[in-house]
Structure 1
Amino acid sequence: MKIFFFGNMACYLSRQMHLCAEKHVMTFLDESATDAEIASHCQNTDILVSMVFDQRFVTSSLKKVLVPGIGVDKINFSQLPENVEVLTCAAHEMAVSEYILSYVISYFRELDSIGERFKSSYDWRDCSRLGGIARKQLNELTVGVIGGGRIGRKVIEVFSFFGSSCRCLTRYPYETSGSVLFFPRTERDDFIRGCDVVIVACGVDKDTQNIIGQHAITMMEPDTLLINIARAECVNYEALAAACHDRKIGRAVIDVWQFYPQKGDQALRPSAADFRQLDNVDMTPHISAWTRKVIADRAAILARYINEESCNSAEYVLQENQA
C-alpha cells in the first residue's frame, strides 16, 4: 500500500506512527512542494494523509484521505473522486478546552496582573484579609460557544461542570445532560448579549466567515472575553483590533491566524491587523491543541486507519459540519 504524507503536520505525525516499512510504501512532501512534485508522489497512492485536498491530489488509485488535524476547510469535497473516504483523527477537544479554561480563569481572576504587582512591589491591595477587590469565579459566568462540534461540545461540558451558564450558537442543537441554551445563527446578536465569554469554535464556511465582525463586537460588553481557536476567517481581526484598542471589549485571545510561515520564515507577521501593541490581546502561534497526548492519539488513530483496523469509534468518521 502506498501512503503519501503531505504537509508539515502529516509528515510530523508519520514519525510517531511506527508503521511497518515492509507493508507500506511511504512518500513525504511539505507545503513548499511544486505541483509537478505533488503529481509525481500521487501516482499509485492508496492513502493521502493531508490537511489539504484539491485537484492536484486526484488519482484513480486513491481510496482514503486522512485529515491529521482540526478542520476540513481545506478539503475540496467537490473535487473528491467518488467512493473516496475522508476520515478525521480528532482527539483534540480536551486539549483545546484546557487552553480556553486557562485563559478564562486567568482573565477573570486577574492572576497575571495581581501576581506581577505583588512580586514587583509587595503590593497588598488585592489581599483578602485587607478587603481587596473580589473577582468573578466560573459559576458566575455566562459562556457562549459558537459551534456545536467536538470542540464546542467539550468546552460546554467542561464549563458546565464548573457551574457556568452555557449557551451555544449552532445549526445542530444536540442532546445534553446539562442545561444549555441553543441559538440558531440567525439569532447571533441575542446569543452574544449577556455573554461574559464568547468562544469561536466553529468550522469555517461561507456562513461563518466573519461571524464575529464589527457589528457582532458591538453587542459585547466592555469586559467580555473573546477567544478564537477556530479559524482567522471567522473573526474580522481589523475590527477586533480596533475594539481592543478602544477598550470596547475586555480582552481577546487569538490562536489562529491569516498567515503561517514556511520553513525559514519564523518572523512572519500572522495578521494584517497589528495586535502586538495591545495589552489586552493574548497571541499564541496555533498551539491550543498541540500537546503530547494529542500527538500520540492522532498518530495511533491514523495508524489504525492505515492498517485498516477498527478505530472502535464511529465519531472519527467525517460527519456533516456541526457548527
Structure 2
Amino acid sequence: MPHTALKIVFHGQNAANFRQGFEALIAPGHQVLDLSDALNLPGEREQFETADVVIGVQLNESMPRPLQARLFHAPAAGTDAINTTLLPAQCTLANCFGHENAIAEYIMAALLMRHVPLAQADEDLRQQRWTFFAGRPGALRTELGEQTLGLVGFGHIAQTVAERAKAMGMRVHVANRSPVAHPLVDRSWALDALDDFMGTCDAVVVSLPLTDNTQGLVDASTIAAMRPDAVLLNVGRGAVIDEKALYEALRHRRIGGAVIDTWYRYPTPTQPECAPSQFDFASLDNVLMTPHMSGWTSGTVRRRQETLAENVGRLSRGETLINVLRAPLG
C-alpha cells in the first residue's frame, strides 16, 4: 500500500529507550532522527520544528514548538508533561500502554511478600532460626487469597491486576469515575464514595493518571478510612496520593503499610540522584520503596515500540490512528 515518507524524531533520553530496532518495525523510506533533551545541539531546534512525528514525553513553554507535527506520540501512558495547548492544530496526541502485565506482576509480587515471607524465612534459617516452622506457635502465615483487593481506577493496569488477583482467589473491589460492571469485580463504588470503598479493602492499588481531577484525590480523610492493617500501593502517579498525608499515616502507623513506586521528586539531567520526597519515607520500616520500576520490562519496551510503529504506519497511509488522546482540531 502506498505511504508517505515521514520525518520522525525521538526527543530525549526517555524516547531513546524505544529507538533501537525501530526502523525494522516501519516501512523503508522514513527519516528517523535522535534529538537531545535540551534541543541545543546544532540543527536540533529546526529538526524538532519540522518533524512530522515527534516521539517524546514532554512539551512545555521553554521548548521550541513542533510546528509541522501531525503526530506527537508519547512512548508511555502518562502525558501530564505534554502541554497540549502548544501542539499545532493539525497534530494528534497519542500514547502507549503495554505496561499492564509488568505492573500486575509487580503488584502481585509486592502483595505476596506480605503473606509468603520467603526472604525472611531464608535469612532466619541460615542463622538456625526456624521462625516459620510448621506447627510451631506463632508461625502461622496469612494467605493472599483470603484478602480483598481494592482498585482505584479501572483502566488497563487495574483490569490486568484484577485478572491476576482473581486467579489468586482474592475479592476485587473497584472505585471508578464511571460505573463498573465487570465479571472480575465483586463490588464497585463511584469516586465520590472513596472513603466507603477504602474501608472494605485489605490492600488498595492506585493506578490513576495525574490530572486536575485526580491530584490529591487520596487525601488524609481517604487514608484515615482505610483499615488499620491495610496496605496502600501507588503505581499511578505520586501526586494522586497526598504526600504529607501518606507520610504521616505511615509514620504514626495508622495503616498497615505502603508500597510506593511512583513519587513526588525525580532525578533530572543536572541531578541524576535525589530523594523521592520532601519527607523521610526511607526512615520508615512499614513502606516498600521502589524507583518507578513497576512497568519497566523488556516486554513493555517491545509492546510500546510496536504501538509507535503501528501509528507511524497508519499515519503514512492516511489511516485512523490508535490510542488517540487528542484529535486534530478543526
Q: Distance in 2 between matches of 1:122 and 1:136?
A: 23
- For residue 306 of structure 2, what is the aligned residue in structure 1? 300
Larger deviation, residues 107-116 vs 3-12: 107-116
Over 3 Å counting, the alpha-carbon distance change for 1:35 and 1:155 in structure 2 is farther
Residue of structure 1 equivalent to 2:279: 273
Match of 2:210 in 1: 204
Q: 1:252 to 1:43 in 2, by over 3 A?
A: same
* TM-superposition CA deviations, 1:288-317 (whole Å, max 9, x none): 01111111121122122223389xxx9952
Question: Hey, what's the Cα distance between the residues in 1 that align with 2:178 and 2:325?
Answer: 12
Equivalent runs, 1:1-323 vs 2, <5 Å? 1-19=6-24, 23-33=29-39, 39-54=45-60, 56=63, 58-119=65-126, 121-263=127-269, 265-308=271-314, 316-318=322-324
Kept in 2, the 8 Å contact 1:148–1:173? The answer is: no
Q: Structure 2-normalised TM-score?
A: 0.86
Q: Distance in 1 between matches of 2:125 and 2:203?
A: 27
Please tell me whether the aligned partners of residues 169 and 183 of structure 1 are also in contact (alpha carbons under 8 angstroms): yes
Residue aligned with 2:18, SS: helix
Residues in 2 aligned to 1:3 and 1:98: alpha-carbon distance in whole angstroms: 33
Structure 1 residues 248, 33: closer, same or farther in 2, change over 3 A?
farther
Q: Given the superposition, is the C-alpha separation of residues 38 and 259 from structure 1 closer, same or farther in structure 2, using an over 3 Å criterion?
A: farther
Judge conservation of contact 2:172–2:186 (CA < 8 Å) in 1: yes
Identify the range of structure 1 (145-154 vs 66-75) with the bigger mean alpha-carbon deviation: 66-75
For the Cα contact (< 8 Å) 1:32–1:262, is it kept in 2? no
Deviation at 1:193, TM superposition (A): 0.3
Q: Report the Cα distance in structure 2 between the residues aligned to 1:77 and 1:299, rounded to whole angstroms.
A: 23
Q: Deviations over 1:149-172 (max 9, x none)?
A: 111111112112222111111112
SS of the aligned residue for 1:308 comes to helix
**CA separation in 2, counterparts of 1:50 and 1:84?**
14
TM-score by length of 1: 0.88
Q: Alignment partner of 1:189: what SS?
A: helix
- What SS does the aligned partner of 1:169 have? strand
Cα distance in 2 for residues equivalent to 1:211 and 1:37: 43
Aligned-partner Cα distance in 2 for 1:94–1:28: 29
Distance (whole Å) between structure 1 residues aligned to residue 321 and residue 202 of structure 2: 31
How far does residue 22 in structure 1 lie from its aligned partner after superposition?
Answer: 6.2
- Which runs of no fewer than 5 residues in structure 1 stay unpaired? none
- Contact 1:3/1:46, CA 8 A, preserved across alignment: yes
Gaps of 5+ in 2: 1-5
Distance 2:196 2:119 in 1: 32
Could you tell me which amino acid in structure 1 is paired with residue 300 of structure 2?
Answer: V
C-alpha deviation, 1:11, in angstroms? 1.4
Structure-2 separation of matches of 1:249 and 1:67:
36
User: Using the alignment, how far apart are the partners of 2:122 and 2:209 within structure 1?
Assistant: 36
2:3 maps to none
Q: Which moved more, 1:149-158 or 1:38-47?
A: 38-47
RMSD: 2.7
8 Å contact kept, 1:86–1:318? yes
Aligned counterparts of 2:312 and 2:277: Cα–Cα separation in 1: 36
